[in-house]
Amino acid sequence: MVVRFWGVRGSIPAPKSPAVMQELLVDVLKEFTATGAATADRIDSFVRELPAWKGAGYGGETSCAEVESEAGRIIIDAGSGLRRLGERLMQGPHGKGQGEIHLFFTHFHWDHIVGLPFFAPIFVPGNRIHLYAVQSDLELCVRQVFKKPFFPVPFEQLLSKISFHRLDPRQPLELQGVTVTPYQLDHPDPCWGYRVEETSARGRRVYAHCVDNEATRISPLDLGEDALLYKGADLCFFDAQYTLQEFLEHMNWGHSAAPIGLEIALREGVKRILFAHHDPSASDRKIGDAERQTRDFLEAYRARAMKAGRPLPEIEWQFAHDGDEFKL
């Protein structure tokens, strides 16, 4: 199983402004000059070694994840990152009207559907587009996206064959070589995360898509059946739009913080957790600061657990970037 992230921002796409880019470029050039080895052959390695907030950044596209199995692929959410994924797919069978898409929605807030009208394969005759959601208004919501004044091309003029599929909560669906099970997240308006499992000759691999999620339910008792979303996942994509302090100031806004995700992940045996849905107003520098705060939190958490005689398991973690790819 390979998981690729085409968008990791939250709420609205957030490209860098020209002024921010210029300021960043000036700072990087000053730092490069100060190394004392500012030669042309050093440029590539210097740039690659920069921390994310100084280099390429964390990205500005909204939620879109691609899960590729040995037998096929599924897509989760249609945020603005879906446009770039569509461009890549058009280079293969989808560009010839011979492709099939399986797209799962967590919910229908703008940042999770805004890429759908710009997804090139949906306009190609012969392509088959399968859309899935737990919500009963799946078809209504999708059709609304293609209505004036929101978009000039009506749904009826889309040239691909589009099918709608209603999912049952917490019931597995097998397709494209994986098993997909929806579990409820904590977010205004119904929102469903997805546990994606692939079993092959290499064993079982599990991806847990947990965005958007305030995670107001943390304990196993509160989570109930939905705790299975996280259980033993090889990779968990978790909503960390806020720092812990911001989270306390934005209760009931539907988004969480990295320390909360770590607490759940450590208890549920998650091997790697990827923090995402970065706030659109958060600069790359601020997200880098949040990473350092998370590192400090985990060190203190480990120290307390060790002192209490309950050492914590090892876990890999990082803040997500557009374009991240993980082979599980």
pLDDT by residue (tens digit) across 272-314? 999 999 999 999 989 999 999 999 999 999 999 999 999 999 9
pTM, two decimal places = 0.94
Phi, psi of 314 (to 5 degrees): -75, 150
Q: Where are the domains of the chain?
A: 2-14+57-322
The CA radius of gyration of the chain, in Å to the nearest whole number, is: 21
> Can you tell me whether residue 6 is helix, strand or coil?
strand
pLDDT at residue 43, as a whole number = 82
pLDDT at residue 15, as a whole number = 86
pLDDT at residue 52, as a whole number = 65
Confidence check: pLDDT of 47 > 90: no
Sheet order of strands, 100-104 included:
161-166, 128-133, 100-104, 73-76, 64-68, 2-7, 325-327
Calculate the average pLDDT of the chain. 94
Confidence check: pLDDT of 50 > 80: no
Confidence check: pLDDT of 55 > 80: no
Task: Determine which of 22-26, 72-76, 80-84 has the lowest per-residue pLDDT on average.
Answer: 22-26
Select from 30, 9, 10, 26 the least CA-distant residue to 18.
26
| CATH number 3.10.50.40 is the correct assignment for the domain at 2-14+57-322 | no
Confidence check: pLDDT of 3 > 90: yes
CA distances from 153 to 141, 149, 157, 279 (A): 15, 10, 7, 31
